[in-house]
Structure 1
Amino acid sequence: MITGDASYIKKINRSLIISKIIEHGMISRADLAKITGLNKATISVQAAELLAEELIIETQQEHKNLGRRPIMLSINHHAGYSLGIDLDKRVITFTLSDLSGSPLDSRSIEIAASDYNQIIELLAEQINHYKQRCTHAPYGLIGVVIGIHGIVNNDESIYFVPYHRWHNKNMKADLQNETGINIYIENNANLCSFAEIVYKHYQSENLLSVSLYSGIGLGIMVNSKLLKGCDGYAGEIGHMIIVPDGLPCGCGNLGCWEQYASESSFMKQLSKNHHKENVTYDEIQHWLLEQDPVTSKLMKDYIKFLSYGLNNIINLYNPEILVINSELLRLYPNALDEIKAHLTSTVGQYRKLQISEFGKNACSMGACALGIKNFLEINELCLAIDESKMQKEFISQ
């Protein structure tokens, strides 16, 4: 049985109240009491404190019935801002969101080098830039979450980043010293799966998200919590061997899945076959629409190898929802049907298979959401992007 003193119980109640206000967008005190099971006095006290802290605001709901309009509570979207960063091998993406999780600003910076100190300097410069932009808000920049395309320990230190060849780096401490902002470090695939749960599938008890970009990572959400393993290394599914004695991988093994089914491996092979460097997504889309035989053949092979790994994942985890995060597959109209045609096992079962709507924004959006969750100190978070408010009402300094 869980026990605690009055302050602990108050903290639990506060977390529950904030979660439900965010989930419903706008809710009255009376409805909040019904949903949470807390008495009206507790709701009133907590609401008064949150109003005084400027974390929530009061509004009156429009209605045509006679009588007094109910006073509604909602999160103060502009009380603070969360910065999500996707640190990939060649590009760093920065996304700023308000407390509702709506993105207000997103941009990318290309990087040519892997020098750790240079990248720390670049990150610190950008974080301080966003910090200054957010000074008008009561809580300013509430936190920064960085998605790493590599192995992250449970203590948020970086164990290994294959492309940059970083070993045992404490980016969290290094950036906090440079910026004075709360920094959180997480694996990119975990953040992608967190974005799917928070924005799209918050009712799911069992969701997997496979990210297919510079490598392949698996984010595992069970009962709304990330399954990370004893050290934090769970989900490195790209290093599952699917071709014995196959292509060499940066991890030291041969025949790893990501050598055959990551987008970087596909684009490398496509560039070679088309005798050009660094093909773009626009070029791939054009070749697919034109039914270019080289591109079509490579795409068929790519989906075959992708399906091998997905079949293994399904057999291992029996997911309720399996989300594939891939810009490449978003360009290919028949992708899902062709993948499903390869998943013919009568043993492996899943309920829903889909391609992520977020694409390459999944990691940075998940990072923004995790920053909000950490700042508000809540157990559950359910967000909805308000498209009409995106790119509006943010004061640029």
Structure 2
Amino acid sequence: MRERTARSADVIVIGGGAAGLMAAITAARGGRQVVVLDHNAEVGRKILISGGGRCNFTNLDIRPECYLSQNRRFPYSALSRYKPADFLELLKKHHIPWHEKKLGQLFCDNSARDIVTMLLAECAQAHVRVMTDVKVTSVRRSDQFSVETSAGNFSARAVVLATGGLSVPKTGATGFAYDIARQFGLSVIQPTPGLVPLVFGAESDRWVHTLAGISLPVRVSCGKRVFEEALLFTHRGLSGPALLQISSYWQPGEAIRIDLLPGQNFEQLLGDIKKAKGKMRGPAALSRWLPQRLAHEMAGQYAPDRPLVEWSDKAVRHIAQSCHRMDVHPTGTEGFAKAEVTLGGIDTRSLSSRTMQAEKVPGLYVIGEAADVTGWLGGYNFHWAWASGHAAGMALAEEG
């Protein structure tokens, strides 16, 4: 049985994920005595499962515009002071090989465990105490913070909330940070699933389900936001990088527009086949550019059932426009269980963008996914964890 005792530290970090460990390391390097508490059996569980087990740890193209927040300028300060090159220096120090996959996305060559091992090594070097299997039951504040846990009571001058959001509940995700924030008078932007597959229930879009397994490069848009990556049809609806990206901007009731042939003039391509006066029918013609099952579906919905040479110019234009401007109407998402991240969270308008400290609660810091900052797919959210954790850690170190 774990001994229940009272302990004191300068800083208690609640949550041993990417943001929490970075904050702990940075603060401890500055001379602070730091304890990390995590309710899981090991730290960094979300790191370990990310990127197919190789962890997409950052992106070469980190820009504030790639982040969503009710307070749009909030990420600027932290991101400007901790850049991808800074994290790459840490990997270099620990001899961790990495590679760029696409679109600036950086992955470990070997395993995501390399990242966790590196962070724990840095914790050990900086004398951070990391405790796992510890459940925090309450956080109170008078002259100092009192943190009650399953391992006893702790006191500290500062507490860092780094417990993340509600996405990927199998990693132990909870709404703990939101509860503590509300307790101290901080507002919380309603959390919703982000970077999440979308589902379709309307009769008009049920054909989407019949194409499960098909993937192709597309351009998707919702409002003014556009992404050009791969789309995947699933048994429930749509997924794939392009769809996950646009899902963070989609609102219930809105349509999503899909261009199945981005960068091509499909009307001209079909017109050339028509001019050749062959007997090719719609499905065969469309399957030159689209996966066969998708070609048959699009031809069945939008094309005349006769040889292409017999199509009118209007019919050619109609099928071309349908492929370039296909509107679908999601009825919902697959929820937090399938979401990569959480949209919303602790309102950043109550936090300092330089330090991550709550303006009206001295000593209380909010970092990573717990805050209302959500990045694009492709390493942006991990980089926010590093940058926000570093910002809080630097502020704690400077307190002296």
Q: Which has the higher helix share?
A: 1
RCO greater where, 1 or 2, for CA within 8 Å and sep 6 or more?
2
TM-score for the superposition, normalised by structure 2: 0.22
TM-score for the superposition, normalised by structure 1: 0.22
Q: Which has the higher strand share?
A: 2
